[in-house]
Chains A and B, each alone.
Chain A
């Protein structure tokens, strides 16, 4: 079972980073942070299905 469920996407390889001056971030962390911002924006903007009303 473990062999079948081993990593499909290998994340153990050479690390990828974005570097500008003193700013350095891993691509993985950047993806996570951007995903959080996108999910937050979508959560606020997407319409919420409104159910039955009660007084």
Chain B
């Protein structure tokens, strides 16, 4: 048998001229495909996949009417999360997260998905029953004809009433405090419970729809969606980015992305998203550029794992 010639410390840039062994690339690929297919079928059969039904506005308004009304009122008077969000949804001076100092990509790109929350979530949907109900038509006309300060005093008074409870009694006792808002909100709640508001939030002036932005923003402004998520440990403060509903594995590879949100200063920062994304952008770039980063690219030499991987080669080299 001829001796095996092994070049000493081969230059990695040069083509290997040393000893080779027979190797079937296509066979290896086919075996890998069959093995992975079988493993996948096994896992799918054993564990299936999660499919928790989506939350509807109808469900939300039935399960948490107080929260629904409080959210609707905040959309109407422009105090909701979406209304005060700033770009890309609304024009709010100074809104938008800063990466550092006053630098904000969010503000730079501006309002690209404009949402008028009062119109989108309350006045627009109510225009539908207003076509056949003189009561609602009149309530809307009174509301839209009033000056903004008056509108705000009605919505804030009614929000307080909803929060305190016994709404019907309070409204009967001090009608003038609330203006047309109780009638509008009662109709909106009825629309929500019937499922009509779900439909209204998705529809536009076109027939075909594929964009659920309005409906999802409305849901996200309330607490019902968030409370449901919290029960499944899906909140940002619960490492939620990594997690899945139930006991399914989630996205373990996102561990470093979600890690920053758990520790100060990011856990209490109003600019956490911008800051974390900036950090992860930089780290992702560094990950891609590992071959060029001194120190990092030398780490493998100091960790003896490579000696285990190539132990057969080193053993033969030493005996040659």
Contacts and interface: CB of A to CB of B under 8 A. Distances in A.
Interface of A: 5-9, 11-13, 15-17, 22-29, 31-33, 36, 44-45, 48, 50-55
Q: Is the interface of B mostly helix, strand, loop or mixed?
A: loop
B173 interface: no
A54 B309 CA distance: 21
Contacts of A53: 4, 19-21
Given A9-B46, A32-B252, A53-B20, 14 more contacts: A5-B45, A6-B48, A9-B47, A11-B48, A11-B248, A12-B246, A15-B232, A22-B262, A24-B233, A26-B233, A26-B244, A28-B249, A54-B21, A55-B20
Interface of B: 2, 4-5, 19-23, 44-48, 50, 52, 232-233, 238-239, 242-250, 252, 255, 262-263, 267, 305, 308-309, 312
A11 B45 contact: no
**Residue of B21, B23, B44 ringed by the most chain A CB atoms within 10 A:** B21
A8 B305 CA distance: 39
Nearest to B238: A24
Given A12-B50, A15-B233, A44-B309, A26 B249 contact: yes
B184 to A, nearest CB: 40
A53 B267 CA distance: 58
Contacts, number: 91
21 contacts: A8-B45, A8-B46, A11-B47, A11-B247, A11-B248, A13-B246, A15-B245, A22-B262, A24-B238, A25-B242, A26-B233, A26-B247, A26-B249, A26-B250, A28-B247, A28-B248, A28-B250, A53-B20, A54-B21, A54-B22, A55-B4
A15 B4 contact: no
B48 A54 contact: no
Contacts of A36: 252
Contacts of B238: 24
Contacts of A55: 2, 4-5, 19-20
Given A53-B19, A54-B20, A7 B46 contact: yes
A13 B22 CA distance: 50
Nearest to A21: B262
B230 to A, nearest CB: 11
B45 A28 contact: no
Contacts of A26: 233, 242-244, 247, 249-250
B247 A52 contact: no
A25 B20 CA distance: 46
Contacts of A8: 45-47
Contacts of A25: 239, 242
B44 to A, nearest CB: 7
A32 B238 CA distance: 18
A28 B243 CA distance: 9
Given A13-B247, A26-B233, A50 B23 contact: no
Contact of B252 (A11, A12, A33): A33
Nearest to A12: B246
A15 B247 contact: yes
Given A11-B47, A22-B263, A29 B243 contact: yes
